[in-house]
A and B are shown apart, each in its own frame.
Chain A
Amino acid sequence: MGMDLSTLRTLISRYCVGEENWVDSRTIYIGHKEPPPGTEAFIQQRFPDNRIVSSKYTFWNFIPKNMFEQFRRVANFYFLIIFLVQLIIDTPTSPITSGLPLIFVITVTAIKQGYEDWLRHKADNAVNQCPVQVVEHGKVICKQSHKLRVGDVVLVKEDESFPCDLILLSSSRDDGTCYVTTASLDGESSHKTYYAVQDTKAYTTEKEVDSIHGTIECEQPQPDLYKFVGRINIYMDNEPVARPLGSENLLLRGATLKNTEYIYAAVIYTGMETKMALNYQSKSQKRSAVEKSMNAYLVVYLCILISKALINTLLKYVWQADPNRDEPWYNQRTEAERQRHIVIRAFTDFLAFMVLFNYIIPVSMYVTVEMQKFLGSYFIMWDDEMMDEELGERAMVNTSDLNEELGQVEYVFTDKTGTLTENNMEFIECCVDGHVYVPNVICNGQVMPGAAGMDMIDTSPGPEAKEREELFFRALCLCHTVQVKEEETVDGIKHGIHQGKSSSLYISSSPDEVALVEGMKRLGFTYLRLKDSHMEILNREDEIEKFELLEVLTFDSVRRRMSVIVRSGSGEFYLFCKGADSSIFPRCVAGKVDQVRSRVEHNAVEGLRTLCVAYKPLIPEQYQELCHLLNGAKLALQDRDKRLAEAYDLIEKDLILLGATAVEDRLQEKAADTIESLHKAGMKVWVLTGDKMETASATCYASKLFHRNTQILELTTKRTEEQSLHDVLFDLSRTILRQHGGMTRDSFSGLSGDCTDYGLIIDGATLSAVLRPSQEDSNSGNYKEIFLEICRNCSAVLCCRMAPLQKAQIVKLIKASKENPITLAIGDGANDVSMILEAHVGIGIMGKEGRQATRNSDYAIPKFKHLKKLLLVHGHYYYIRISELVQYFFYKNVCFIFPQFLYQFFCGFSQQPLYDTAYLTLYNISFTSLPILLYSLMEQHINMEILKKDPSLYRDIAKNSLLRWPIFIYWTILGVYDAIVLFFGAYFLFDNTTFTSNGQMFGNWTFGTLVFTVLVFTVTFKLALDTHYWTWINHFVIWGSLIFFVVFSLLWGGIIWPFLNYQRMYYVFMQMLSSGPAWLSIILLITASLLPDVVKKVIWRALWPTTTERIQHFAFLMTFLHLDMAAL
């Protein structure tokens, strides 16, 4: 009874709180079965389904949500306000003039965003609808992925990826293990072993699995990939058996089942609650630096606008103080107007001026920018040079908002595995006692001589040497933890994927080992299998040798070596040890240490991953002793790890060095070239990887991130264990600063070129220590600063052992540092998603590790090498294009509106527009829009090839250099100058004189039309002067829009338009053209307004040419030379 009450209470409290998250653990019923009665009553919790949502809108909320988001943009909101003001009060221009462009902008943007969201929906659907096999009522049923519920039991077959987070129940293997690669989650492509709970591992058919009766209790989802705590209760004979669950039982969504036929597993986290989904960061709108400066300019123009309106309002009332000016007899107010309060009148006047001048902030700029970005991104997608023939993929653009940001990148954060490297280890060479063996060719173990300058392999090696050589090969064949996959499970398709390489046969948690064993195979020693604890080797004479595997001293990162103890067929005991050079050499007592060491060092510099191999023959008594030692340590209940380490230390000594190996994680094609170009272009390249330090730094050397003369600074756990973090940091910064001081001295003496550059290596643990906000001392705040200071002075930084979110953290840290540099993150796996989302520009590589990165990126490219063209060419182009676009837009609107401002001084500040409504509306929409749009799509100030060849040109545009304030002010002044020339030119021509040859007079609309005509021609010619790359399209658009303007004006003034209530423009344009002086003054005014800009350009080019201009000139001369040659 009491229990019932408590149950009820729990029930009530749970449902009343209404929030399910308060439960910090969840209970899952495997197969949705009720627990047997009598146990503690569980309340079924509600969980989300397994749907992944990356889209922003649904069909229903698209319009309101999109409208809301669009009007949240300051510019759009401003235009909306202007439009509403025009609707409400009596303003000089009709609401159409601003309503039409605004509606156009909003619609275009909505269509674009809707389309992009539709693509996301499509991608989501593809994921959500992929089939999953679920066990229900003892049968396997196919379900769509999104219909999975917590508690379902799913069947996953080999090479399938897990649809959600699962607890392994059983596998096709007897021991209840399965192998999984989490490459797409954390970038580690090695196979990891996961375990089923003892009590469930026997249930290996769907019927049996269905009979499992149990519950799982586990924590609520959290993003840490490596942490999981839970408990499984199995009810057998109504007697619950509780077993602990840890991360070794948890299969994560996104990981792939390998080397295991099938598994059964229970669903615990679904959909957006999976660890993978929790590791995503929410998508935030990325804004480019150009957009930021655009907004800054906008604020300036807004201030100009408001002050213009204020000045005019003020002057209006000063001027009107005389009632005969305010209301002369010929121009009376209506009674209603007269009655209005002076304050209201002043305010409406202010608003009317605002409306009159509002065109100075161009609505159409936003449309043009959007269109430029959207259309411009097609050039990236179309680019043949960024297409990978092998994959058949070309670059993809997911967000076109950031095209120009590609030209502004200062920091590149790159993933290693799969991005810089192919994620494909290859055995390069081995060195036995100084003899180098290179298995260049796969064919029957042919031994090739090594690199020149090294000892050539003895063509007739002495018997002793030969013996040692074979011992070395055997050592490599034996000293590993590689598993062999049975032949029959390897089908043809799989062979195809790996291009027929036999690599698919060996499986190991370390790809290096696979490479080594494979390399041995090529040198004639083939590891066959491990059978009944006997390792079988096929030697060069095609004989099978058997070694009994006695002990494996597994690898760990502290010792950095591993050993095996084997007994050969002839009964001899051997200890084989392989490991990093630093951990092997000190333990060797014999062997040609010096020769091997020199070779190892040579290889390390080449960027190869080296391992040393040593051995020690054991006599049976020694073996017994070791055995005893090991077993004692293994069985220890306390300090087991410590005692094991001690035992290993005792065993692995007095070794005889055999030789060394070199393995290469093949770099992606042209990765080094790309990184060098990025360096030359002034970018800092950081490698962020989950991999271990040695591997990562080897890659960094190979990819020329670190050079031979780069001084490496280490900030790793190893070092911080010896010294406190504080000291290490200060040490490093002192080193750097000393160099820095030296550098300034150098630069004084003009020798700044040959200063050493620094490379920093930091690992995840240290990084989190650096970044950890600490409460007690204020010093830690400095750590960040010091760290940043160090980083700033390093040309390359390597961060290893990084968790996905840490990658994002470091990107964020750099982003927030005081220079606010533009960052770019590039990666291929799901572990890179968070940094891709965090960086200003996120780039996905279409690699082997799934599509996560690609989907979340802003741009996706097939290979790392394509980054070069993407940044140096496309980025550069888009940046100069859009910066001209932005500046030009403000310029042409100053030219447009300033005469209108000046006109107020001559019309009694009455807000009389200078131009006709049609001209006001169409100026930005059609007369001057296409030339700049096409310019901003087509312009190439420098040839593509030169941009690629000379990456330092990228520095020319760094730090948003084309949108700096001086340049902006120059454009604005130019605009004001042009406006003054236009207005006063027309003014003096019109002033109190006749303009025609028949004595008839022109009116105010002709005056406006004359100004407008000159204006349209001037701004178009100004663009023509700026255009450096004249394709037929540019010609067509520039001359075409001028012709369009003339034709439109003729038409607009040629007819009495029945739907208009005024005919002010009737015949005005034609009448103007029929007057000779008008033609002459148009030509004069255009010339006069273009003159200063041309002169400025020419003089600047002659006296202070920029690099760009020099190269343009050079290219220009080259074409002439070329022509001359051709003519000859």
Chain B
Amino acid sequence: MMASSYNAKDEDGHISVSGPGGGALRSKKPENTAFKQQRLPAWQPILTAGTVLPAFFIIGLIFIPIGIGLYVTSNNIKEFEIDYTGVDMSSPCFNCSQNFSWNSTRPCTCTIPFYLEQSYENNVFMYYGLSNFYQNHRRYVKSRDDSQLNGDVNSLQYPSKECEPYAYHDNKPIAPCGAIANSMFNDTLELFYHPNGTKVPVPLTATGIAWWADKHVKFRNPGENQNLTAVFQGTSKPVNWRRPVYELDYDPLNNGFINEDFIVWMRTAALPTFRKLYRIINKKDNMVPTLQRGNYTLEVVYNFPVRSFEGRKRMILSTISWMGGKNPFLGIAYITVGSVCFFLGVVLLLIHHKYGNRNNSADISN
């Protein structure tokens, strides 16, 4: 009765007993596959000093040049950073940072002069950097409504609960809702070049700073091709904003939810010190460097308060290579790991030489 183990084949075997003598036995015996007998052909590598040695040397030989390459590339990148928070009394933005109030109608502006010691070839990327700003705080990260941002009309009227306490204002839904949108970086940075005492504005491009997919797929204005003002009728602007979302830019392709500054801000940073792409300074022609050596001024419309949480604001100018911005870490890490591998390779070679033979002879004597 219990002959029926898990496989029903056994029982089949019983039934076919009436068959030719050997047949019954064979049917009882399941197909003798290598898998069932755990005898599948297998590659059985073992990690010995002998087999690992070449791998270590190869890794070392590959990693060290890569590391050197990365390090050199990183060093060739030009980067300029300026802190315009206005913590020091001497800082031009000190006043603005001191007398900050959300309700002030007149924006506070300050001008910071700086000197570029090198000329910047190629495209220059202009970033703003914030420190001690926790964009990755859980309450903050989830405080957004992706379907509202994707143009969903229903979500426009009834923002997600996650946006609380930035979902409704004066009983009107906030568009865009949530803490992230509400705290959007709203300083205006302008750059001026001062060749020979004149003041030449540096042309800044505000497009191409957001991910292509975000700009074209993830973020959409509600109501296809309608007048934005009409679409956002009945919604309230985020509390801290000076202008409603449909007045972010004059260019209809960069207005509303698909405003690139907005999209960039909405991609929450991983760490409390971060930078975000603000503008691109495109190279105009091959003869002139994008930014020449010389005196510049940064004109800031100071709207974004960071002093209350001991934050910092920076403006960064940087060129970019194929491996991104200035970051010596990757190159150093490659060189380190490569050298460690190489070193271990040497150690293992010694061990292999000293003990490998003894080991083998012991085996064979066994």
Contact = CB atoms under 8 A, between A and B. Distances in A.
Nearest to A1008: B270
B124 to A, nearest CB: 9
B268 A127 contact: no
| Best-buried of A92, A330, A1114, A1117 by chain B (most CB within 10 Å) | A330
A353 B2 CA distance: 50
Given A382-B30, A993-B325, A1004 B275 contact: no
A572 to B, nearest CB: 55
Given A992-B271, A1066-B214, A1113-B46, 20 more contacts: A119-B4, A119-B6, A331-B137, A333-B139, A378-B36, A392-B25, A989-B330, A990-B271, A994-B125, A1000-B211, A1028-B46, A1029-B42, A1061-B145, A1061-B162, A1076-B324, A1098-B47, A1098-B48, A1098-B49, A1103-B355, A1114-B366
Nearest to A1060: B146
Contact of B36 (A382, A997, A1076): A382
B218 A1056 contact: yes
Interface in B34-51: 36-49
Interface string A694-728: 00000000000000000000000000000000000
A433 B211 CA distance: 107
B141 interface: yes
A732 interface: no
Contact of A1102 (B308, B359, B363): B359
* Chain A, interface residues (CB within 8 Å), range: 35 or more
Nearest to A874: B38
A126 to B, nearest CB: 4
Interface string A124-140: 00110000000000000
A1115 interface: yes
Contacts of B355: 1102-1103
A908 B135 CA distance: 10
B352 A994 contact: no
Interface in B59-86: 59, 63, 66, 70
B330 A381 contact: no
B183 A1071 contact: no
B44 A908 contact: no
B116 to A, nearest CB: 18
A1001 interface: yes
A911 interface: yes
A682 to B, nearest CB: 18
A938 B42 CA distance: 10
A1124 interface: no
Interface string A905-929: 0111011110000000000000000
Contact of A910 (B134, B179, B326, B351): B134
B85 to A, nearest CB: 15
B277 A1071 contact: no
Contacts of A1066: 213-214, 217-218
| Best-buried of B10, B160, B273, B327 by chain A (most CB within 10 Å) | B327
A1076 B160 CA distance: 37
A745 interface: no
Contact of B337 (A990, A996, A1088): A1088
Interface pairs A-B: 9 shortest CB-CB = A994-B325, A330-B183, A1007-B270, A126-B1, A382-B36, A1067-B213, A999-B125, A910-B138, A1004-B270
B324 A993 contact: yes
A347 interface: no
Nearest to B327: A993
B123 interface: yes
Interface stretch (A409-417, A776-784, A1077-1085): A1077-1085
Interface stretch (A20-28, A586-594, A1089-1097): A1089-1097
B323 A997 contact: yes
A328 B134 contact: yes
B322 A997 contact: yes
A206 to B, nearest CB: 29
Interface stretch (B248-256, B292-300, B340-348): B340-348
Contacts of A387: 29
A123 B5 CA distance: 11
Interface in B262-303: 264, 267-277, 280
A1030 B348 contact: no
Contacts of B321: 997
B330 A1084 contact: yes
Interface of B: 1-7, 10, 13, 24-25, 28-30, 32, 36-49, 52, 59, 63, 66, 70, 123, 125, 127, 129, 133-147, 150, 160, 162, 164-166, 179, 182-183, 208-211, 213-214, 217-218, 240, 264, 267-277, 280, 305, 308-310, 318, 320-327, 329-330, 333-334, 337, 340-341, 344, 348, 351-352, 355-356, 359-360, 362-364, 366
A1117 B147 contact: no
Contact of A1030 (B43, B134, B334): B43
B12 to A, nearest CB: 12
Contacts of A1095: 344, 348
Given A906-B271, A910-B139, A1071 B211 contact: yes
Contacts, number: 314
A1105 interface: yes
B42 A940 contact: yes
Nearest to A1109: B46
Nearest to B308: A324
Contact of A334 (B164, B213, B305): B164
A372 interface: no
Interface string A76-94: 0000000000000000100
A1117 B363 contact: yes
Contact of B140 (A331, A938, A985, A1115): A331
Contacts of B337: 1084, 1087-1088, 1091
A863 interface: no
A430 to B, nearest CB: 38
A858 to B, nearest CB: 13
Contacts of B268: 1003-1004
A122 B8 CA distance: 13
Given A1081-B330, A1105-B359, A1117-B363, A999 B123 contact: yes
29 contacts: A119-B6, A123-B2, A329-B309, A330-B133, A394-B10, A397-B6, A851-B2, A910-B134, A912-B137, A940-B42, A988-B329, A991-B273, A992-B273, A994-B275, A998-B320, A1004-B141, A1004-B269, A1008-B270, A1030-B44, A1030-B45, A1064-B146, A1066-B213, A1066-B214, A1091-B341, A1098-B348, A1113-B360, A1113-B363, A1114-B366, A1117-B360
A947 to B, nearest CB: 11
Nearest to A903: B136
A1020 interface: no
A30 to B, nearest CB: 31
A1028 B44 contact: yes
A325 interface: yes
Contacts of A674: none
A999 B40 contact: no
B213 A333 contact: no
A382 B36 CA distance: 6
B182 A330 contact: yes
Nearest to A395: B5
Interface string A1002-1044: 1110111000000000000000010011111110000000000
A1110 interface: yes
A991 B135 CA distance: 14
Contacts of A813: none
B137 A908 contact: yes
A325 B309 contact: yes
Contact of B5 (A397, A912, A992, A1091): A397
A397 B145 CA distance: 55
A383 interface: yes
A92 B42 contact: no
Nearest to B362: A1110
B340 to A, nearest CB: 7
A1101 B134 contact: no
A29 to B, nearest CB: 33
| Best-buried of B142, B150, B360, B363 by chain A (most CB within 10 Å) | B363
